[in-house]
Amino acid sequence: MIRKEKKGQVQYFLESAFRIGFLMVALLAFFLLVNFYIVNRLDTNRLQAEVTANRIIYSDAIMWQDNSNSRIYPGIIDITKFNDNTLSQRIDYSTKSHAAVQLTIVDTSDGSEKYTAYLNKAQYEILQGILNKQGKGSATMYIKNYPITYKNGAQYSYGTLIMNIIIPNS
Amino acid sequence: MLLINKMFKNKRGDDMLIDFWAIAVFAVIILLFFLLFSLSKSQNDSSVQAKFINKDVNFMLESFLRAPALEVGDSSKTIGEVITEDSTTGDFTRTEKLFETYFNQVNTLNGFKVNAIRIDITGPNSDGDTITRNQKTWRFIRAKFLSFTDGRKDVYVSETYLPGYESRIDVKLSLTELILASELKDAANKEKAQQNTK
């Protein structure tokens, strides 16, 4: 029914104000809750860095492997395997646009850098120039330190493995 | 009195009151939802990060126990074996020396400064007789005790067991990470910039 009287219209509007407000709040809540549940932005950079680090420290890529029983000793690095070629052969992904890593062994006794190797070196050099910049195509670096033992022939030494992992942001 | 009677008889007033309380209750529920979601989200993020770092500490402990005991001049034994031997005498001088040397260069964890590294070894007390022997804990700390006025301290722990001559030996490694307030702010800004990038 249409109310023709002005007084009636105003009264009707005032009565409906609460209802309209309630409806607006309900709609707002509905959209907010839907937004909370729909995840359309996944940040996997850190996960990629962790997976790459794990792949390196727990595999036979650089860790010493006892040939008699094929057992791998995570935490003991075999220097004969600590080079770019072995890393790219053992950790061979079909795409080269993922993580790039610089690995450095620092000797514990004097703090000097002893050995350096790269996984995906070409990509590392490209990404290094666009670190901490904004926009797609930039990259983020994650640094990880692990105390390790490195084995050069029959000689063992204590050191620290420093991993600079760069992950592209796009 | 007349006014009160009017109020009670006023059906429209009742409707308005009901609407008012309905909105108030609804607003409170929405607020609760907001709190619930925001809290659970931040907890999830921090727990994921903590799991990653705990994994690193676990790797450090396993590497330490598996490493050859170089500082005591016997690379045929692992540090784990030296700890087992030391637990029989109660003299952990060799273990302490190995611990100090092995973790000498561990200054950062997850990009933030390491304030202290502690190892707790719990085994049978060699002072008592064999029957009434109690458990005893030996603790070694390599600490920097960096001074800070405001910030956060996070402790990450990994624990494992070694087979001892009499009973098992518990070995626990704890790393205390110190995050200054300014570093926290920088990290948050960096993360925000990264999110905006995507």
The first and second tokens of residue A126, run together, are 């490209």
CA closest to A51 among chain B residues? B52
Nearest 10 degrees: Cα torsion A67, A70, A72, A77 = 20
Of A32, A44, A58, nearest to B195 (Cα)? A44
Half-sphere exposure of B109 (CA within 13 A, CB side): 29
**pLDDT tens digits for range B1-28:** 444 455 455 555 566 777 788 778 878 8
Are β-strands A63-66 and A71-78 bridged in parallel, bridged antiparallel, or unpaired? antiparallel
Residues of B whose CB is below 8 A from A148 = 63
- Within this chain, do residues A29 and A51 fall inside the same structural domain, yes or no? no
Q: Give the count of domains, chain A.
A: 2
One-letter amino acid at A81 equals K
- Within this chain, do residues A29 and A97 fall inside the same structural domain, yes or no? no
Preferred mutation among B20, B49, B57, B59 to probe A, highest tally of A CBs within 10 A:
B59
The first and second tokens of residue A153, run together, are 């022939």
Question: Which residues of chain A fall short of a pLDDT of 50?
Answer: none
Mean pLDDT taken over chain B? 77
Residues of A whose CB is below 8 A from B64 = 75, 147
The better pLDDT of the pair B106, B121 is held by: B121
- Within this chain, do residues A1 and A16 fall inside the same structural domain, yes or no? yes
The better pLDDT of the pair B181, A138 is held by: A138
Helix then strand then coil, in percent of chain B rounded to 5, is: 50, 30, 20
DSSP state, residue A81:
G
Can you tell me the distance from the alpha carbon of B105 to that of B194, in angstroms, rounded to the nearest whole number?
Answer: 30
pLDDT at A115: 94
Q: Do A19 and B19 count as a contact with CB atoms less than 8 A apart? A: yes
- Within this chain, do residues A18 and A62 fall inside the same structural domain, yes or no? no
Q: Decide: A99 and A133 in contact? Cβ < 8 Å.
A: no
- Within this chain, do residues A4 and A66 fall inside the same structural domain, yes or no? no
Of B175, B33, B63, nearest to A75 (Cα)? B63
Between helix B11-66 and helix A45-58 the angle, nearest 10°, is 20
ipTM over 0.90: no
- Within this chain, do residues A138 and A156 fall inside the same structural domain, yes or no? yes
- Within this chain, do residues A112 and A137 fall inside the same structural domain, yes or no? yes
- Within this chain, do residues A52 and A87 fall inside the same structural domain, yes or no? yes
Residues of B whose CB is below 8 A from A75 = 59, 62-64, 66-67
Residues of B whose CB is below 8 A from A159 = 105
- Within this chain, do residues A89 and A145 fall inside the same structural domain, yes or no? yes
- Within this chain, do residues A6 and A86 fall inside the same structural domain, yes or no? no
Of A151, A164, A31, nearest to B63 (Cα)? A151
The residues that bridge with A78 in the sheet, in sequence order, are: A151
pLDDT at B3: 45
Between helix B93-102 and helix B79-89 the angle, nearest 10°, is 150
Q: Which domains does chain B have, with CATH numbers?
A: 48-197 (3.30.1140)
pLDDT at B1: 47
The better pLDDT of the pair A56, B50 is held by: A56
- Within this chain, do residues A103 and A70 fall inside the same structural domain, yes or no? yes
Q: How far is B70 from chain A (nearest CA, A)?
A: 7
Full residue range of the structural domain in which residue A23 is found: 1-41
Nearest 10 degrees: Cα torsion B92, A77, A140, B47 = -40
- Within this chain, do residues A28 and A49 fall inside the same structural domain, yes or no? no
